[in-house]
């Protein structure tokens, strides 16, 4: 059997390479893929500021947003983070990111979980203050990335009008990126966003094993 026959025999219905593909066949396949990827990149030269949404019941929404913050800071651009609802404690990320000094503006403008505060009027006022601070960062030209952490929760609870949030997103400079996180994202926001990732819960040690929230994992 020659190399072509061997290669054909190891490619499944989906076009994937099998484990017995010859080295020459593998190189040919990767060369074809390289050409396809280069063509895709050439066709995608447009840049724009993105609206990015991380939502869902799974863990990792804020973590993903902060990963983007770290990446942006690493490129020498400024980042602003406004946390809704959260604020009853200082997370490890806030301590670590202080190293970036004035390149990062971090505002934790809540007082913790709503079942802990038990004061809807005060929570609503804090959210209103957080939104006004968010608008400053959304509309200026100094910050490349703005993260609105747990804003989806504030919208879901009725503390913040969805229409105001969408209008605020439209008011940003064209090259500014915005990340919105939190459970319960409304469909209208999902439709407006450029990049949407849903975090799905499969297992969680807090619920299933009775393991408490731990430093470095949850905060």
Q: Pick the catalytic residue: 62, 72, 152, 181?
A: 62
Whether 219 is catalytic is: no
Q: Pick the catalytic residue: 6, 59, 124, 156?
A: 59
Q: Pick the catalytic residue: 21, 54, 55, 61?
A: 61
Whether 61 is catalytic is: yes
Q: Pick the catalytic residue: 38, 39, 57, 98?
A: 57
Whether 46 is catalytic is: no
Q: Pick the catalytic residue: 71, 120, 122, 125?
A: 71
Q: Pick the catalytic residue: 86, 150, 176, 181?
A: 150
Q: Pick the catalytic residue: 10, 63, 105, 117?
A: 63
Q: Pick the catalytic residue: 2, 42, 43, 115?
A: 115
Whether 115 is catalytic is: yes
Per-residue HEC secondary structure of the chain comes to: CCHHHHHHHCECCCCCECCCCCHHHHHHHHHHHHHHHHHHHHHCCCCCCCEEEEECCCCCHHHHHHHHHHHHHHCCCCEEEEECCCCCCCCHHHHHHHHHHHHEEEEECCCCCHHHHCCHHHHHHHHHHHHHHHHHHHHCCCCCEEEEECHHHHHHCCCCCHHHHHHHHHCCCCCCEEEEECCCCCHHHHHHCCEEEECCCCCCHHHHCCCCCCCCCCC
Whether 55 is catalytic is: no
Whether 71 is catalytic is: yes
Q: Pick the catalytic residue: 24, 27, 113, 122?
A: 113
Whether 48 is catalytic is: no
Q: Which residues are catalytic?
A: 57, 59, 61-63, 71, 113, 115, 150
């Amino acid at each position: 059997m020659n190399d072509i026959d061997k290669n054909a025999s190891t490619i499944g219905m989906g076009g994937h390479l099998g484990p017995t593909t010859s080295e020459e066949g593998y190189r040919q396949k990767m060369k074809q893929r390289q050409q396809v990827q280069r063509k895709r990149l050439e066709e995608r030269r447009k840049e724009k500021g993105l609206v990015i949404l991380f939502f869902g019941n799974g863990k990792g929404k804020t973590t993903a947003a902060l990963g983007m913050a770290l990446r942006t800071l690493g490129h020498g651009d400024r980042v602003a983070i406004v946390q809704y609802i959260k604020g009853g404690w200082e997370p490890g990320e806030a301590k670590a990111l202080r190293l970036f000094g004035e390149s990062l503006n971090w505002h934790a403008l809540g007082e913790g979980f709503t079942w802990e505060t038990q004061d809807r009027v005060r929570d609503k006022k804090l959210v209103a203050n957080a939104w006004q601070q968010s608008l400053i960062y959304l509309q200026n030209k100094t910050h490349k990335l703005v993260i609105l952490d747990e804003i989806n929760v504030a919208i879901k609870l009725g503390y913040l009008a969805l229409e105001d949030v969408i209008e605020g997103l439209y008011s940003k400079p064209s090259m500014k990126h915005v990340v919105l996180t939190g459970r319960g994202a409304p469909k209208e926001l999902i439709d407006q966003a450029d990049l949407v990732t849903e975090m799905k819960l499969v297992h969680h040690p807090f619920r299933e094993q009775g393991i408490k929230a731990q430093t470095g994992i949850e905060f």
